[in-house]
Structure 1
Amino acid sequence: MNHERAVREWDLTIEPHTSIFHLSLRDIWRYRDLLFLLVKRDFVSFYKQTILGPLWFFLQPLFTTLIYVIIFSRLARISTDDLPAPLFYIVGIVAWNYFAECLTKTSTVFRDNANMFGKVYFPRLIMPLSIVLSNLVKFGVQIILLLLIFLYYIIFKDYHPETN
């Protein structure tokens, strides 16, 4: 009985102005310069402190593919269904790298950039979107690497995928 009375005493309900699925693309477009600067910041800050710089875009998937080929194709002898092993593994590595980077970095973006949120207003979606876009640049470079490996197998190794 006491509980019912306490519930009736509350007469104010706080609700959001819009639903969770309503994205204000106009705000994102208005802050596109900030989005571009954050993408550039992510890109430059990650590779500026390394010796090889942006070459890591190419080297990381190549070395990972090499390790997969040695372990899974040579030592464990796992079949790739008549596909060249490097091509088979690099396709998965490139796709997985994009997904994993986006997931791990966006999961902590609000905690890592809390100091920016208190200083100036901008749409909060800009921060995770900048991470997804900077990873999309890396993904594009790695797709070019994937296409080069695919062309290598078509031209020099006489590998032609079946066309049905």
Structure 2
Amino acid sequence: MEQEQWTEIIEPRTHLLDLRLRELWRYRDLVMMFVRRDFVSNYKQTILGPLWFFLQPLLTTLTFVLIFGQIAQLSTDGLPMILFYLAGVTVWNYFSETLNKTATVFKDNAQMFGKVYFPRLTMPFSIVVSNLVRFLIQFTLFLIVWVYYLIKKDAVHPNYLVVLTPFLVIMMGLLALGLGMIISAMTTKYKDLIFLLTFGVQLLMYATPVIYPLSSLSDKYKWLILANPMSSIVETFRYAFLGSGTFNWGYLGYSFIATIIILLVGTIVFNKVEKSFTDTV
């Protein structure tokens, strides 16, 4: 009798840090299917469709220019207001959208998780990828405005740090993934966190130099803002493309180390909770 050959053997995890990246690669088609699903579900019944990719950051930027630039008259380090806020919004949108969706991945997909097996990490990873595509579209919009001010106005002075852009994007994605996995694991037991999530992310934005430059803060409060790993990422991105702001290799190094630690903690918590989350969600 010929021995049966199984295409998939489901085994328990022996290590909490086991990401099973090889398994994730084998299910790459499923990841891309989830990515396409996110795009379709978000804009299928909207009138403007994908145009919202451009309209959302533009409307947010114009709102910031009016409220924080014109009314509150916050400093922009001498940079054009629209470019200053658009840089912050472009970066922050990728981080916040990835964090928000990753943090509710267990709740949003509980029925699917309970019915069929697939590597659970494919779901949060697909969120990182789908938001990366959205970021690239919005980043293109930023580049169009940036080139206009670079050529026509001579108002910005980019530097060699623009080569760090892919590194900064990867850091943002991994940081949002780590935080999102931690929160998603906690929401399986403490569902109140779901209601606090949107408010918490919004509050975190004000603890990040998105609407103000780091240089405008006094030393008394600057350390508190720098404790947020996203702060140096936003400042480095703005400094690289606009030539004004605060950059320090030490600050960026701290953000990198914090990102790795948060990602490791998120992986441990996610791997531990996924074994029994269907009993509590």
TM bucket, shorter chain: 0.7 to 0.9
The equivalent of 2:154 in structure 1 is 158
The equivalent of 1:39 in structure 2 is 35
Letter in 2 for 1:132: V
The equivalent of 1:3 in structure 2 is none
Give the drift of 1:162.
6.8
- From the CA coordinates, give the structure whose radius of gyration is larger: 1
TM-score using structure 2 length: 0.51
Cα contact 2:79–2:156 (8 A) shared by 1: no
Counterpart-to-counterpart distance in 2, 1:77 and 1:160 = 20
Q: How does 1:2-41 map to 2 (within 5 A)?
A: 17-41=13-37
Give the drift of 1:118.
2.1
Aligned mate of 1:56, from 52, 57, 72: 52
Aligned mate of 1:109, from 105, 109, 113: 105
* Distance verdict in 2 for CA 1:32–1:82, change over 3 Å: same
Counterpart-to-counterpart distance in 1, 2:15 and 2:93 = 32
Counterpart-to-counterpart distance in 1, 2:14 and 2:66 = 53
Counterpart-to-counterpart distance in 1, 2:42 and 2:58 = 19
Greater relative contact order (CA < 8 Å, ≥ 6 in sequence): 1
SS in 2 for 1:156: helix
* Distance verdict in 2 for CA 1:77–1:24, change over 3 Å: same
Identity, % of aligned positions: 61
Aligned mate of 1:120, from 116, 119, 122: 116
Give the drift of 1:158.
2.6
Letter in 1 for 2:114: G
Counterpart-to-counterpart distance in 2, 1:113 and 1:28 = 18
Counterpart-to-counterpart distance in 1, 2:92 and 2:40 = 22
Counterpart-to-counterpart distance in 2, 1:127 and 1:82 = 42
Q: How does 1:64-143 map to 2 (within 5 A)?
A: 64-143=60-139
Give the drift of 1:101.
0.8
Give the drift of 1:132.
1.2
The equivalent of 1:7 in structure 2 is none
What stretches of structure 1 of length at least 5 have no aligned partner? Answer: 1-15
Corresponding pairs, count: 149
Letter in 2 for 1:127: M
